[in-house]
Structure 1
Amino acid sequence: MDQEMVDIESQVIYRATVQQGAPHISHKEKCLVTLKFNDVVYKIKTKKSGLFDKNTKEEEKVILKGVSGIVEPGEMLAMLGPSGSGKTTLITALGGRLGGKLCGTITYNEKPFSNAIKRNTGFVTQDDILYPHLTVTETLVYTALLRLPNTVSKEDKVMHAKSVIDQLGLTQCKDNMVGSPYIRGVSGGERKRVSIGQEMVINPSLLFLDEPTSGLDSTTAQRIVSTLWELACGGRTIVMTIHQPSSRIYYMFHKVLVLSEGNSLYFGKGSEAMDYFSSIGFAAPALAMNPSDFLLDLANGVYTNELNEDHPIDKQKLVSAYKINIEAQLKARLEGISDLGNRVQGEFQDKGFGKWPTSWSQQFFVLLRRYIKEKKHESFSTLQIFQIIVTALIAVLLWFKSDISHLQDQIGLLFFICGFWSYIPLYQAIFTFPQEVKMLEKERSSGMYRLSSYFMSRIVAELPMDLVLPTIFILITYWLTGLKPNVMNFIYTLLSLLLHVLTCQGIGLAIGAIVLDQKTATTFATVLMLCFTQVAGFYVQHLPKFMHWIKYMSNAYYTFQILIGSQYHTGQTYPCSKGQCLIEEYPAIREMGFPDLHRKALAAIVLVIMLIFYRLVAYFALMRVGVTKNLT
Structure 2
Amino acid sequence: MSRPVAAVAPAVAPDALGEVNESCSGAPGANVGQASAEGTHILLVNPPPASTEIKRSAFALPAASLTFKDVAFSLPPSHRGAKPQSILEPCSGHFPAGQLVAVMGPSGCGKTTLLDILAAKKSGKYRGEIRVNGQPRDAFFRRIAAYVGQEDMMPSHWTVREAVRFNATLKRQPMRSHECMGDWIDVILEAFKIADVADEIIGGPEVKSISGGQRRRVTLARGVAAHASLLFCDEPTSGLSATDAELCIKALRVVAKRLNVLVFVVIHQPRREVAEVFDTLVLLTSNPGRMAFCGPMAEAPAYFAECGHPAPTHANPTDFFLDLLTPGTEQDATSALMEAFTAEQKPLLDASVNMGLVGRGLTTEEMLRAVHKQVAVTSEQGAAPRVRLGPYAAPFHEQLRVLLRRKVLTTLRNPGAGAAQVFMP
Common topology (TM > 0.5): yes
Rounded Cα–Cα distance in structure 1 between residues aligned with 2:26 and 2:358: 23
Within 5 Å, give how 1:390-409 maps onto structure 2. none
* 1:43 alignment partner, SS class: strand
Amino acid at match of 1:296: L
Task: Answer with 325-334 or 357-366: which moved more.
Answer: 357-366
User: Aligned match of 1:241 in 246, 262, 266?
Assistant: 266
Instruction: Give 1:62's aligned residue.
Output: 86
Amino acid at match of 1:366: V
Instruction: Give 2:77's aligned residue.
Output: 46
User: Aligned match of 1:34 in 51, 59, 65?
Assistant: 65
User: Aligned match of 2:313 in 259, 276, 287?
Assistant: 287
User: Alpha carbons of 1:311 and 1:334: their partners in 2 closer, same or farther (altered >3 Å)?
Assistant: closer
Amino acid at match of 2:270: P
CA shift, 1:15, in A, is: 7.9
Per-residue CA shift, 1:283-314, capped at 9, x if unaligned?
Answer: 22x221111111111111366xxxxxx3544x
Instruction: Give 1:316's aligned residue.
Output: 335
**Which ranges of structure 2 fall in alignment gaps of 5 or more residues?**
1-6, 28-58, 370-386
CA shift, 1:185, in A, is: 2.1
Amino acid at match of 1:59: K
Within 5 Å, give how 1:198-237 maps onto structure 2. 198-234=222-258, 235-237=260-262
Rounded Cα–Cα distance in structure 2 between residues aligned with 1:152 and 1:20: 12
Per-residue CA shift, 1:74-98, capped at 9, x if unaligned?
Answer: 2111011111100000000111112
> What percent of counterpart residues are identical?
26
Rounded Cα–Cα distance in structure 2 between residues aligned with 1:14 and 1:327: 37
User: Alpha carbons of 1:377 and 1:346: their partners in 2 closer, same or farther (altered >3 Å)?
Assistant: closer
CA shift, 1:180, in A, is: 2.2
Within 5 Å, give how 1:585-624 maps onto structure 2. none
Rounded Cα–Cα distance in structure 2 between residues aligned with 1:8 and 1:316: 34
Contact kept? 1:176, 1:186, Cα under 8 Å:
yes
Contact kept? 1:92, 1:98, Cα under 8 Å:
yes
Instruction: Give 2:326's aligned residue.
Output: 300
User: Alpha carbons of 1:148 and 1:293: their partners in 2 closer, same or farther (altered >3 Å)?
Assistant: closer
Rounded Cα–Cα distance in structure 1 between residues aligned with 2:271 and 2:8: 29
Per-residue CA shift, 1:323-374, capped at 9, x if unaligned?
Answer: 111011011122235999938x994225234443223232223212112212
* 2:302 alignment partner, SS class: helix
Contact kept? 2:164, 2:221, Cα under 8 Å:
yes
Q: Is 1:342 aligned to residue 369 of structure 2?
A: no
Instruction: Give 1:609's aligned residue.
Output: none
Contact kept? 2:237, 2:248, Cα under 8 Å:
yes
Q: Is 1:18 aligned to residue 42 of structure 2?
A: no
Amino acid at match of 2:218: V
* 2:239 alignment partner, SS class: coil
Rounded Cα–Cα distance in structure 2 between residues aligned with 1:47 and 1:78: 32
Q: Is 1:176 aligned to residue 200 of structure 2?
A: yes
* 1:297 alignment partner, SS class: helix
* 1:144 alignment partner, SS class: helix
- TM-score normalised per structure 1: 0.53
User: Alpha carbons of 1:63 and 1:171: their partners in 2 closer, same or farther (altered >3 Å)?
Assistant: same
- TM-score normalised per structure 2: 0.77
Contact kept? 1:25, 1:160, Cα under 8 Å:
no
CA shift, 1:112, in A, is: 1.8
Instruction: Give 1:271's aligned residue.
Output: 298
CA shift, 1:25, in A, is: 6.0
User: Alpha carbons of 1:256 and 1:135: their partners in 2 closer, same or farther (altered >3 Å)?
Assistant: same
User: Alpha carbons of 1:177 and 1:151: their partners in 2 closer, same or farther (altered >3 Å)?
Assistant: closer
Per-residue CA shift, 1:548-571, capped at 9, x if unaligned?
Answer: xxxxxxxxxxxxxxxxxxxxxxxx
Cα RMSD, aligned residues only: 3.2
Rounded Cα–Cα distance in structure 2 between residues aligned with 1:196 and 1:26: 28
* 2:71 alignment partner, SS class: strand
Q: Is 1:367 aligned to residue 403 of structure 2?
A: yes
Contact kept? 2:74, 2:85, Cα under 8 Å:
yes
Rounded Cα–Cα distance in structure 2 between residues aligned with 1:346 and 1:320: 42
Q: Is 1:114 aligned to residue 138 of structure 2?
A: yes
Rounded Cα–Cα distance in structure 1 between residues aligned with 2:279 and 2:327: 25
Amino acid at match of 2:61: K
Rounded Cα–Cα distance in structure 2 between residues aligned with 1:372 and 1:225: 35
Contact kept? 1:7, 1:340, Cα under 8 Å:
no
Per-residue CA shift, 1:579-627, capped at 9, x if unaligned?
Answer: xxxxxxxxxxxxxxxxxxxxxxxxxxxxxxxxxxxxxxxxxxxxxxxxx
Larger Rg: 1
Name the structure where helix makes up a greater proportion of residues: 1
Rounded Cα–Cα distance in structure 1 between residues aligned with 2:140 and 2:17: 22
CA shift, 1:272, in A, is: 1.5
The count of residues paired between Structure 1 and Structure 2 equals 368
Task: Answer with 35-44 or 110-119: which moved more.
Answer: 110-119
User: Alpha carbons of 1:213 and 1:21: their partners in 2 closer, same or farther (altered >3 Å)?
Assistant: farther
CA shift, 1:30, in A, is: 2.5
**Which ranges of structure 1 fall in alignment gaps of 5 or more residues?**
1-5, 49-55, 304-309, 386-427, 430-464, 467-503, 506-632
Q: Is 1:260 aligned to residue 279 of structure 2?
A: no
Rounded Cα–Cα distance in structure 1 between residues aligned with 2:115 and 2:242: 23
Amino acid at match of 1:289: A
Contact kept? 1:40, 1:102, Cα under 8 Å:
yes
* 1:240 alignment partner, SS class: strand
Amino acid at match of 1:77: V
